[in-house]
Amino acid sequence: MSQKAQNVTDYPNNNTIFSVWKFKEGAEIKEAFEALCGLVNNLNNSFKVRVNAGPTSCILGVSHDAWLKLDLPTPLPKELKNFQEIKGDKHTAVSTDADLHLHLSAINSAICYDMAMAISKVLLPVADCIDEVQGFKYWDGRAIIGFVDGTENPIGEDRDYFGIIGDEDPDYKGGSYLFVQKYIHFMKDWDTLSTEEQEKVIGRYKATDIEMEEGKKPANSHTALTAIEDENGNELKIIRANMPYANPSKGQAGTYFISYASTFSTTEKMLKNMFIGDPIGNYDKLLDFSKAISGTLFFVPSLDILDNYSAE
C-alpha cells in the first residue's frame, strides 16, 4: 500500500511559488506527466543534499479531471471531485478549472526559481500556466492584513493525523486533499478600520495573536466560523500553508489560501460556514474585505504513486 506522503505537513517557508497548470487540448500528456513525477521526487531529494538552507519542498497536486485524462488508478480517491462553487447571499467561493498544482517552498528564493524553471521545461510543451503566485513570509507569519495566519494549525503528530489519509482509504494512504483559493484584499477599505474593528472581524487581538474571549468574539468573526467540530464535539482541523503575495505598484495584495487535509469535507464545511453562514446569513465578515478569485480541489498522491508513474 502507498504510505509515504509528499511534504504536505511542512511548515510554511520564507519563499513560495504556487503555479497552476491546464493541459493543452490534444496534447500528449502522459509522457510529460511521467517526467514530472520523476522530477518532483528528484527535486525534493536533490535539494536536501545540495543546499544546507532549511527545508525545501516541491508538492504536486492533480485535479479530478486531470486524473481521468491521465488515466490514473480507479476508483478515484474517495473525496476527489470538481469543486462546486459555494454561493451565499453576498459572497461566492468561485470554482475554477485547472489540471495540476505545484507548491514550491524554500528559505532561499533562488531554490524556488530553479525548481519552477525545471518544472516549466517539462510542462510548457503540453500545458499552459494559468496562474503563478510568488508568496513571501510577512514579518512573524502575518497575512498582509496584519494578523498572524495559521495559528490554529495542528502541530506535532496531529499534522499527520489531520493532513494525510490513513486506513480510511487504503488505496490512497499517504495522500492528501489540496484546496486552493487566491484572495484579493481590499486594503484601502481594511485600513480605514480601527484596530479594535479589525480584531472583531478576525476574532483575535492583533498585537498578541490571542483569541478573543467568548462573549467578546463576534459570531461572524473569521475564527468563530472556521472552528469546526464533528458530531461528537471533536475539533476538526486542516493544515494551512497560506502565503501573502503583493504587487504594490498596482495596489494589489492578497492571500493565497492553501489547505492540505485527510478529507476535503472538513475544508468544505469551513467554506460553507464562511460564505453561506452559520446560521445562514451569518457569513464571515472578513469576506467584506476580501474576494476569492479562484477555487480548485486537487489530490496530492503519495510518493509511492509518483514513483510508480515516474519515467525511468
Give tens-digit pLDDT for 177-229.
999 999 999 999 999 999 999 999 999 999 999 999 989 999 999 999 999 99
Question: Which pTM value belongs to this model?
Answer: 0.96
**Do 90 and 289 form a contact (C-beta atoms < 8 A)?**
no
pLDDT of residue 46: 82
One-letter amino acid for residue 276 of the chain = I
**Radius of gyration of the chain measured on its C-alpha atoms:** 19
Q: How confident is the model at residue 54 (pLDDT cuts 50, 70, 90)?
A: low
Q: Which of 41-50, 84-93, 173-182, 279-288 comes out lowest in average pLDDT?
A: 41-50
**Do 180 and 295 form a contact (C-beta atoms < 8 A)?**
yes
Q: How confident is the model at residue 312 (pLDDT cuts 50, 70, 90)?
A: very low
**Do 128 and 90 form a contact (C-beta atoms < 8 A)?**
no
What amino acid positions are annotated as catalytic residues? 149
pLDDT of residue 259: 97
Rounded distance between C-alpha atoms, residue 158 and residue 305, angstroms:
24
Rounded distance between C-alpha atoms, residue 78 and residue 264, angstroms:
10
Helix (H, G, I), strand (E, B) or coil at 244: strand
